[in-house]
Structure 1
Amino acid sequence: MPNPQDLSALPLPAGPTLNADESDGRLTLTLAGQPLVRLRLARGEALHLHLQNPGEVPSVQALWAAAYWLFAREPERQQLFWHLEHTPDEALRSGLLLATDVAGQLRCERTLFWQLPQPWLGLPSNEAYPQQMIISTGKRHPARAPKPRGEVYRRFDIRLGAWISLRTLEIDVDLARFNRWQNSTRVANFWQESGSLEQHRDYLQKLDADPHTLTLIGCFDDEPFAYFEAYWAKEDRIAPFYDVDDYDRGIHMLVGEEHHRGPHKVASWLSALVHYLFLDDPRTQRVVAEPRADNARMIGHMQNQCFHCEKEFDFPHKRAALMILGRERFFERCGLV
């Protein structure tokens, strides 16, 4: 797998590639062949960033690109310290930069950087959908935003050297693939949803009409390899089994293509799926899952991505493990690159 330390080019979801030239403590970033920012780096216990032209007013795009490059290249680094004569208000308002007690010095935090929704989300970032409490099927919960269509998330995974993306499932496009995956012996053992094309069309149509569930296809380099269901836990059958919050999201996961199995692939798609759900609504504080309690491999993969097992409990159809990952823990401990 590629080593982040060997980076020289970093593709961005919108199309252009971020390129870097670092030598002798100087870093020059270019985007689509055009100079973006030139920096002098002072490395020690902390990393301090100085503009080569101190009087320059850097764009927010330049500040973001430098943070992305340096955080991607050094996955363990948690902070960057900028030294700027002019404070960019937009970067402060967004949380990209934080003021410090030192005049002219600002701080960039990895945990805040990865909570900025763009450019990872496929749709323009909007404010959280207005809250209105409603009752459906006897449960009181917030009204949910209309479900998106198309690609919802894209990021270049540096460790794999591949794009990881999520798009909404299209029944006419994905039905045969979904049917093949569900009828594989390995998947059927845990999902227990094997059946005909028409049975699976009915299954997916019911989910498409259900406002509490979003069906997603996971892709590596635009090749579909997995099916995910992201659901609002407050309206789900899991709600009675723990102290559910209004904006908790739950996930069901299925890797259909055998050549995309393995712990390194799980680390990529599981962190991307959770990242998307936390970005999708900033009010979401937890992502939960309920794999079969005897699915030790999946539980192990989830624990490797900072989920913890809260308890085991009994659904009517299975003994389940309640797996939980909080927003704070995810952004502080999961090393997105």
Structure 2
Amino acid sequence: MPPTDASTDADTAPFTDIGTATSAGARESRGGPAADASADGEDTLDVPLPDEITALFAEDTGGGVAGSLGGGSAAGAAAAPVPDPVARPVPESEPVLDVPGGPMPDPPAAPAPTSDLSVAEDLLDHIGDWGPISTPAGVLHLVPVRVDRDLPIIDRWMNDPAVAAFWGLAGSQNATEEHLRTHLAGDGRSVPCLGLLEGTPMSYWEIYRADLDPLARHYPARPHDTGVHLLIGAVGDRGRGLGGTLLRAVADLTFDKRPACARIVAEPDIRNTPSVAAFLSAGFRFSAEVDLPTKRAALMVRDRSLRHLL
């Protein structure tokens, strides 16, 4: 279960991210009994052929059809049957199936399933390739989470009482691991990232497609709206304006790397006043209060058109 919000000084606002994708295929079969076969074995009528049809067969001395599709004499056509326009030649190297009605080539192999990472990159424009960004506090780099590498430090942050009050992931490391794996195993609409400031891990981020998130049921979402959750990890990094500085930088980076995105949104718990203040200082505007399943949230919005004014 995703968190309800960030810590008091974490400048976050988490939410549940879900998604599925399926695909299917089918093959056409050939052969089988005639559709008009009699069920009780009754004899069929002996219908005589018209004289014109009989004469046509009499002219076909070579087993072909009189005349040719490309012109020429009737004699030449009789010696060279016209190819079946439906059939196609099968290269010797192509595997075939032994089916009624003649050999039929194998259908092309289904494409390999796309990995979770490539799906994620499609939905959020290759977050792993966004690269570092300069901020007044130093160079920040968002790196997609690897559970085997990042779980211990993220779990330690989640067990900070100030963080646990809003994220709700304190206790066993299994809770944090399940939370991370849920995002990583999804269809890519939410990507958890570790924030490295001057090379040092100090924050946890979730960049997500707000228009594809359950949040979209609670506000007038637009295509490619991008959401952000932030957790400042170290206690010493909180309460000195760092959250607002990093939020502004990540919002600008998102606009630069996601040209289709016109708005960035967040939904911190309305009680988390330091978090709301951090979003305001980062150029977000307060849009509305919304009742979400786990909290009453402040909907914060940063508009691309106002990015240089706020």
- Counterpart amino acid of residue 149 in structure 2: V
Q: Which residue of 1 aligns with 2:176?
A: 200
Deviations 1:96-134 (A, max 9, x none): xxxxxxxxxxxxxxxxxxxxxxxxxxxxxxxxxxxxxxx
**Displacement, 1:137?**
6.4
Against the structure 1 CA distance between its residues 281 and 222, is the aligned structure 2 distance closer, same or farther, given a 3 Å change threshold? same
Alpha-carbon separation, structure 1, partners of 2:244 and 2:160: 23
Q: 157, 163, 186: which one pairs with 1:187?
A: 163
Greater than 2 Å deviation, 4+ residue runs: 146-153
- Counterpart amino acid of residue 220 in structure 1: L
Deviations 1:117-156 (A, max 9, x none): xxxxxxxxxxxxxxxxxxx669xxxx86066475633123
Q: 127, 130, 154: which one pairs with 1:152?
A: 130
**Counterparts of residues 57-68 of structure 1 (less than 5 Å):** none
- Counterpart amino acid of residue 304 in structure 1: S
Alpha-carbon separation, structure 1, partners of 2:132 and 2:184: 22
Q: 232, 252, 263: which one pairs with 1:286?
A: 263
Higher strand share: 1
Against the structure 1 CA distance between its residues 166 and 249, is the aligned structure 2 distance closer, same or farther, given a 3 Å change threshold? same
Q: 246, 251, 257: which one pairs with 2:234?
A: 257
Q: Which residue of 2 aligns with 1:240?
A: 217
**Displacement, 1:309?**
1.1
8 Å contact from structure 2 (residues 245, 282) kept in 1 = no
- Counterpart amino acid of residue 189 in structure 1: A
SS in 2 for 1:253: strand
Q: Which residue of 2 aligns with 1:313?
A: 290
Structure 1 residues not aligned, in runs of 5+: 1-135
**Displacement, 1:200?**
1.7
Against the structure 1 CA distance between its residues 236 and 170, is the aligned structure 2 distance closer, same or farther, given a 3 Å change threshold? same
Q: 190, 208, 222: which one pairs with 1:213?
A: 190
Deviations 1:45-101 (A, max 9, x none): xxxxxxxxxxxxxxxxxxxxxxxxxxxxxxxxxxxxxxxxxxxxxxxxxxxxxxxxx
Alpha-carbon separation, structure 2, partners of 1:180 and 1:228: 15
Q: TM-score when scaled to structure 1?
A: 0.53
8 Å contact from structure 2 (residues 123, 189) kept in 1 = no
Which of 1 and 2 has greater Rg? Answer: 2
Alpha-carbon separation, structure 1, partners of 2:283 and 2:207: 18
8 Å contact from structure 1 (residues 151, 165) kept in 2 = no
Q: Which residue of 1 aligns with 2:95?
A: none
Alpha-carbon separation, structure 2, partners of 1:226 and 1:312: 26
Alpha-carbon separation, structure 2, partners of 1:291 and 1:316: 13
Alpha-carbon separation, structure 2, partners of 1:177 and 1:238: 28
Give RMSD over aligned pairs.
2.1
**Displacement, 1:195?**
3.0
Alpha-carbon separation, structure 1, partners of 2:193 and 2:185: 14
Q: Which residue of 2 aligns with 1:266?
A: 243
Q: Which residue of 2 aligns with 1:80?
A: none
SS in 2 for 1:291: coil
**Displacement, 1:271?**
1.4
- Counterpart amino acid of residue 302 in structure 1: F
**Displacement, 1:182?**
0.6
- Counterpart amino acid of residue 163 in structure 2: V
8 Å contact from structure 1 (residues 218, 225) kept in 2 = yes
Alpha-carbon separation, structure 1, partners of 2:123 and 2:149: 21
Structure 2 residues not aligned, in runs of 5+: 1-18, 22-118
**Displacement, 1:325?**
0.6
Q: Which residue of 2 aligns with 1:226?
A: 203
8 Å contact from structure 1 (residues 153, 276) kept in 2 = no
Alpha-carbon separation, structure 1, partners of 2:141 and 2:168: 26
**Displacement, 1:198?**
2.1
The question of 1:165 aligning with 2:134 is answered no
- Counterpart amino acid of residue 156 in structure 1: S
Q: 228, 252, 276: which one pairs with 1:299?
A: 276
Q: Which residue of 2 aligns with 1:102?
A: none
Q: Which residue of 1 aligns with 2:304?
A: 327
SS in 1 for 2:261: coil
- Counterpart amino acid of residue 260 in structure 1: D
Alpha-carbon separation, structure 2, partners of 1:150 and 1:234: 21
Alpha-carbon separation, structure 2, partners of 1:177 and 1:237: 28
**Displacement, 1:232?**
0.4
Number of positions where the alignment pairs a residue of Structure 1 with one of Structure 2 = 192
Percent of residue pairs bearing the same amino acid type? 28
8 Å contact from structure 1 (residues 228, 253) kept in 2 = yes
Against the structure 1 CA distance between its residues 230 and 149, is the aligned structure 2 distance closer, same or farther, given a 3 Å change threshold? closer
